Amino acid sequence: MSFDLDTAERQHLLPFQGTPYVTDHAAWVRAQTAAFDTWKNAYWFTHQKLGSRARAIYGDVYDLPNGIGTFDVVILGAILEHLGDPVRAIGSIARVASKRIVINTDIISGDEPIGRFNGDPAYPERSYIFWTYTLETYRRILAICGFEIENVHDDTYKAFSPLATDKGWVQTPRTTIVARRVG
């Protein structure tokens, strides 16, 4: 099963002055929802062509629907840094994860439980990146939700970036955190 937002109304950006997100939010939501719908159409086209049996659910990551059930493993692939409230999202996700949560994200080095706000007035094109945490911050958030970290793996991945000079693709360091439910 996969999960994604149902409408752009659920997406939050940093409120950069003068951007359509701020100046005409309703028009921005309509345009962005239309863009999301084209991505969903591509998913469903591929789903049909490959004969996939996977399910997709759409809604609010901060309040996952009760009826979706529970899952042995829930994977959060490069999503948390794009959320205004990643702690609330992890709490919502923990309700449906019966055994493990796998998080792939950026990490700040250091042993303190801190977060870094990534908004910068000089970079309005980065309006979709909010927070980066230390591993200790994730350890504490996950423990609050009934999980403990069992494995951490650092690697470099090829990722798309609208800021890249090489056709949008850059090598990006990422950390994968595997946490298991305790108790």
Residue 100 and residue 119 share a domain: yes
Can you give the pTM of this predicted structure? 0.90
Report DSSP state, residue 156: E
Residue 88 near residue 62 (C-beta atoms within 8 A)? yes
Residue 100 and residue 31 share a domain: no
Stated as kind and residue range, the H or E segment containing 138 is: helix 135-144
Integer CA distances (angstroms), 130 to 13, 14, 147, in order: 8, 7, 24
Question: Tens of pLDDT along the chain (183 residues)?
Answer: 899 999 999 999 999 999 999 999 999 999 999 999 999 999 999 999 999 999 999 999 999 988 899 999 999 998 999 999 999 999 999 999 999 999 999 999 999 999 999 999 999 988 999 999 999 999 999 999 999 999 999 999 887 776 666 667 888 899 999 999 998
**Segments forming the whole domain that contains residue 113:** 61-183
Residue 54 and residue 67 share a domain: no
38 HSE (CA, 13 A, CB side): 5
Domain termination residue (choose one: 32, 59, 86): 59
